[in-house]
């Protein structure tokens, strides 16, 4: 639809100004038309436009706006939110080097130097001939094979300066990114392509997910059960969400099922953005049928006919594999109308590719992103189970949670409940990386101690372990007896190991820079406060801090936790708080007593005091053991 907000010339081209290339309206219209001119498919539209024109230029946004009945500002709001979209022209090949701390410790600097030397450009630049752009990006989910990079849709892993140089030379010689993987790339199956690019590193297969899995056992049982019986089984199993928060899955499904609206949705959260986490990548590659089976069972339980698989943009190399699996299941009557021949059992899934934004893992932001909006969290309540995607009841679960649910329906709730510990039932996938001999995936029942895991992975000389990624907890050797359970050390899966040579302040500073980069910017304490925290850590790194700065770190952290709208801000100070608690000497060793003991730093507590009083929110008191 053209709402007449943009002028179109007789030749079907528009020019937003006389010296800008005209925009081919017909081509933009065709792209939008492929997605039904639906504003909720804005990410897909922007991806296609960017693929075609190498950027999302202002005049292009006008054209998209007129096709989707939005304003240009709304389109620009989406295009500028996601880091994988660019408003200025990118190279025909974009190399995104993973800049995670694990990559840095594994030799990223030399890999960057090799790329820069051969390509003749610096990180952040595009070559003058428009052939190639070189950039860095936060964790791309390859920490077990760092350093890693995305080259358009192709993944390169375990890079060395030599392999980086060879890849850059091949690209300079005009070879395609796919040819870096194999000269037979196009003959390989989608699964073969995925595993050629990325090792799965399954080091320990447990009884539930990575051991033998009978085909469709869960779905075959579920079709003979009433929705309430399915929900009872999931509840009795004790399954809790594997995305980090650990909410009881059966209860979530029950809430959604109890909502009497005519549409319900099931969304799989495959955003997996927490640095150090890569377990969902392995499930998506090795157990895609089990995942879709779990989503289909959830759909039957809550009465959903529509589902979305939200795949992080960094995992675009898995898109074809997943689309193939969806197509195969449609053919086999496992998706679509009358699933397994059952009248009225209808469910299908569309894949939504994300576009490089960690915040989109937060379920409200994930829903916003699925709706074609900037990935901003939503105000809660209402919760997604009542009013989620497009305002309808929506179940959002992690990839691993859906896979577990399918196995529970296949093998029985008691079987699952018997594994693990009280309150943490079943198995858990741990993504282990960093300073150990055998990084990779370990499927273990809940309840192992950190020591036991470290022995398994060849990391017994660890000095520190980051449990749960940057938003989790960093512990030292005196806490390695603690258990990996929801009640002790909860984790969405990330276990990052650091040996005694690593600089804790460097790690903390990196994690704070990550949160600064990934804050959606909606709340001032998160947007501004994390910048101040990062700066304060830099002060410690430079040896310019006073003991009073430790109080400043605690006060400011407390304020950010207290006043942030979503889980990102509520956990972003954790790298600081957990290291202050578990590694106090690291801070004490580099702080010098000030002459007068007066802080010269900005006091955000006082600055927001007025607002807090108006909002009737109490002040956060830093007295709890937040790692418990
Ligand atoms: C900043 C932030 C990022 C998150 N990222 C993810 C993610 O990548 N994957 C995920 O499953 N859950 C993530 N979560 C948790 C989700 O909000 C939500 O709790 C989860 O998808 C629910 O699924 P589950 O009950 O199966 O765990 C994130 C939460 C926050 C606050
Ligand atoms: S806490 Fe941070 S990420 Fe969350 S809504 Fe506020 S600004 Fe955005």
pLDDT digits (tens, 9 = 90+) for 76-125: 999 999 999 999 999 999 999 999 999 999 999 999 999 999 999 999 99
Q: Which residues contact 379 (CB under 8 A, 6 or more apart)?
A: 364, 565
Segment 427-454 mean pLDDT? 98
Angle between helices 279-286 and 319-331 (to 10 degrees): 40
Query: What are the pocket residues of ligand 2 if the criterion is a CB atom closer than 6 Å to any ligand atom?
Result: 359, 377, 519-523, 526-527, 564-566, 568-569
Distance 519 CA to ligand 2 centre (A): 6
Which atom of ligand 2 is closest in space to residue 530's alpha carbon?
Answer: 2
Q: From the CA of 525, how far away is ligand 2's center (Å)?
A: 8
User: pLDDT tens digits, residue range 348-393?
Assistant: 999 999 999 999 999 999 999 999 999 999 999 999 999 999 999 9
Give the span between the Cα atoms of 8 and 334, in whole angstroms.
46
Q: Is the peptide bond before 382 cis (omega within 30 degrees of 0)?
A: yes
Residue 202, CA atoms < 13 Å, CB-side half-sphere: 16
**356 contacts: CB under 8 Å, gap ≥ 6:** 82, 83, 84, 137, 312, 313, 314
Q: How confident is the model at residue 24 (pLDDT cuts 50, 70, 90)?
A: confident
Q: Ligand 2 mean position to 610 CA, how many Å? A: 20
Q: Would the pLDDT of 18 be above 50?
A: no
How is residue 231 written in tokens? 């929900």
State the ligand closest to the CA atom of 276. 1
- The rounded distance, in Å, linking the Cα atoms of 220 and 223 is 6
Which atom number of ligand 1 is nearest to the Cα of residue 240?
Answer: 25
| Closest ligand 2 atom to 519 CA | 3
pLDDT value of position 613? 53
CB 512 within 8 A of CB 537: yes
Query: For ligand 1, which residues put their CB under 6 angstroms from it?
Result: 241-245, 247, 269, 271-274, 359, 361-363, 396-398, 401, 566-568
Structure tokens at 543: 């040896």
Q: Which atom of ligand 1 is nearest to the CA of 277?
A: 8
Residue 149, beta-bridge partner list: 97, 156
Longest dimension (CA), the chain: 80
Q: Is the pLDDT of residue 593 over 90?
A: no
Lowest mean pLDDT: which of 264-278, 360-374, 585-599, 600-614?
A: 600-614
Alpha carbon nearest to ligand 2 atom 8, residue? 520
For 578, the enclosing helix (H) or strand (E) is: helix 574-582
Q: Which of 295, 311, 363 to mutate to test the pocket of ligand 1 (most atoms within 8 A of CB)?
A: 363
Of 31, 25, 24, give the one whose Cα is nearest residue 47: 31
The first and second tokens of residue 269, run together, are 């959260």
Among 521, 533, 563, which is best to mutate for testing ligand 2, by the most ligand atoms less than 8 A from CB?
521
Closest listed ligand to the CA of 239 = 1
User: Looking at the predicted structure, is the pLDDT value of residue 612 above 90?
Assistant: no
Token pair of 35 as six digits: 């997605």
pLDDT single digits (tens) 226-278: 999 999 999 999 999 999 889 999 999 999 999 999 999 999 999 999 999 99
Quote the CA–CA distance of 139 and 315 in Å, as a whole number: 11
Atom of ligand 1 nearest to the CA of 271: 8
Among 50, 140, 127, which Cα is nearest to 86's?
50
CA distances from 561 to 211, 243, 372, 504, 569 (A): 40, 20, 28, 22, 6
pLDDT in tens, 481-494: 999 999 999 999 99
**Region 396-401: what's the mean pLDDT?**
98
pLDDT above 60 (res 608): no
Ligand 1 centroid to Cα of residue 165, in Å, is 37
Query: What distances in angstroms separate CA 335 from CA 43, 292, 328, 348, one per listed residue?
Result: 24, 9, 9, 5
Tell me the CA–centroid distance for residue 357 and ligand 2, in Å.
12
Residue 605, pLDDT score: 55
Ligand positioned closest to the Cα atom of 492: 1
Q: Name the residue with higher pLDDT: 253 or 624.
A: 253
Beta strand 149-151 pairing with 154-156: antiparallel
Compute, in angstroms, the gap from residue 394 CA to the centroid of ligand 2: 22
366: Cα within 13 Å, side-chain hemisphere: 29
How far from the centroid of its chain's Cα atoms is residue 268's Cα?
12
Q: According to the model, what pLDDT value does residue 273 have?
A: 95
Please name which ligand lies nearest the alpha carbon of 530. 2
pLDDT at 606: 54
Q: Virtual CA dihedral for 161, 162, 167, 170, nearest 10 degrees?
A: 140
**CA of 520 relative to ligand 2 center, distance in Å:** 5
Confidence of residue 1 (pLDDT cuts 50, 70, 90): very low
- CA 123 – CA 99 distance, rounded (Å): 11
Looking at all shown ligands, the one closest to residue 270's CA atom is 1
Mean pLDDT, range 308-333, rounded to an integer: 98
Element (H, E) at 151: strand 149-151
**Tens digits of per-residue pLDDT, 490-506?**
999 999 999 999 999 99
Task: Determine the average pLDDT of the residues in 612-620.
Answer: 47
């Amino acid at each position: 639809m053209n709402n007449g907000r943009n002028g179109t010339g007789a030749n079907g081209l528009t020019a937003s100004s006389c010296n800008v290339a005209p925009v081919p309206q017909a081509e933009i219209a065709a792209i939008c038309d492929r997605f039904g001119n639906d504003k909720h498919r804005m990410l897909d539209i922007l991806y296609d436009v960017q693929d075609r024109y190498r950027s999302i230029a202002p005049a292009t946004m006008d054209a998209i706006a007129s096709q989707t009945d939005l304003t240009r500002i709304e389109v620009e709001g989406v295009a500028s939110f996601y880091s994988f979209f660019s408003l200025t022209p990118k190279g025909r090949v974009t190399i995104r080097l993973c800049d995670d701390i694990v990559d840095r410790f594994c030799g990223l600097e030399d890999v960057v130097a090799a790329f820069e030397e051969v390509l003749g450009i610096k990180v952040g630049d595009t070559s003058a001939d428009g052939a190639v752009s070189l950039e860095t990006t936060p964790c791309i989910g390859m920490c077990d094979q760092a350093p890693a990079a995305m080259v358009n849709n192709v993944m390169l892993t375990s890079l060395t300066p030599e392999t980086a140089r060879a890849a850059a030379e091949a690209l300079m010689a005009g070879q395609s990114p796919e040819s870096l993987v194999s000269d037979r790339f196009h003959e390989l199956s989608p699964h073969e392509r995925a595993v050629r690019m990325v090792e799965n590193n399954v080091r320990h297969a447990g009884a539930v997910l990575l051991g033998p899995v009978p085909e469709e056992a869960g779905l075959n049982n579920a079709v003979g059960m009433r929705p309430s019986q399915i929900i009872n089984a999931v509840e009795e199993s004790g399954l809790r969400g594997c995305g980090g928060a650990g909410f009881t899955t059966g209860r979530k499904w029950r809430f959604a099922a109890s909502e009497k609206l005519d549409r319900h949705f099931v969304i799989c959260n495959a955003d997996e953005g927490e640095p150090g986490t890569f377990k969902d990548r392995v499930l998506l590659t090795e157990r895609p049928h089990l995942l879709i089976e779990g989503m289909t069972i959830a759909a039957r339980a809550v009465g959903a006919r529509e589902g979305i698989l939200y795949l992080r943009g960094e995992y675009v190399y898995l898109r074809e594999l997943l689309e193939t699996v969806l197509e195969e299941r449609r053919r086999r009557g496992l998706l679509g109308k009358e699933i397994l021949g059952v009248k009225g059992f209808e469910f299908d899934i569309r894949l939504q590719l994300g576009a490089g934004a960690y915040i989109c893992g937060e379920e409200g932001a994930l829903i916003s992103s699925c709706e074609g909006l900037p990935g901003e969290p939503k105000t809660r309540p209402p919760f997604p189970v009542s009013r989620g995607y497009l305002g309808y009841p929506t179940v959002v679960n992690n990839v691993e949670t859906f896979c577990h649910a399918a196995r529970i329906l296949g093998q029985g709730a008691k079987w699952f409940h018997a594994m693990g510990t009280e309150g943490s039932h079943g198995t858990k996938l741990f993504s282990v990386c960093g300073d150990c001999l055998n990084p990779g995936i370990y499927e273990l029942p809940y309840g192992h101690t950190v020591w036991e895991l470290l022995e398994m992975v060849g990391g017994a000389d660890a000095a520190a372990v980051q449990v749960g990624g940057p938003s989790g907890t960093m512990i030292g050797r005196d806490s390695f007896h603690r258990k990996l359970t929801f009640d002790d050390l909860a984790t969405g899966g990330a276990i990052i190991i650091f040996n005694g040579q690593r600089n804790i302040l460097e790690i903390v500073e990196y994690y704070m820079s990550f949160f600064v980069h990934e804050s959606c910017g909606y709340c001032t304490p998160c947007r501004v406060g994390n910048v101040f925290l990062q700066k304060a850590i830099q002060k410690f790194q430079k040896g310019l801090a006073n003991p009073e700065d430790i109080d400043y770190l605690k006060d400011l952290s407390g304020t950010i936790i207290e006043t942030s709208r979503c889980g990102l801000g509520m956990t972003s100070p954790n790298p600081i708080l957990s290291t202050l608690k578990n590694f106090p000497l690291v801070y004490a060793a580099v702080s010098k007593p000030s002459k007068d003991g007066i802080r010269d730093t900005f006091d955000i507590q006082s600055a927001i005091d007025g607002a807090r009083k108006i909002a009737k929110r109490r002040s956060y008191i830093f007295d709890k053991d937040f790692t418990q």
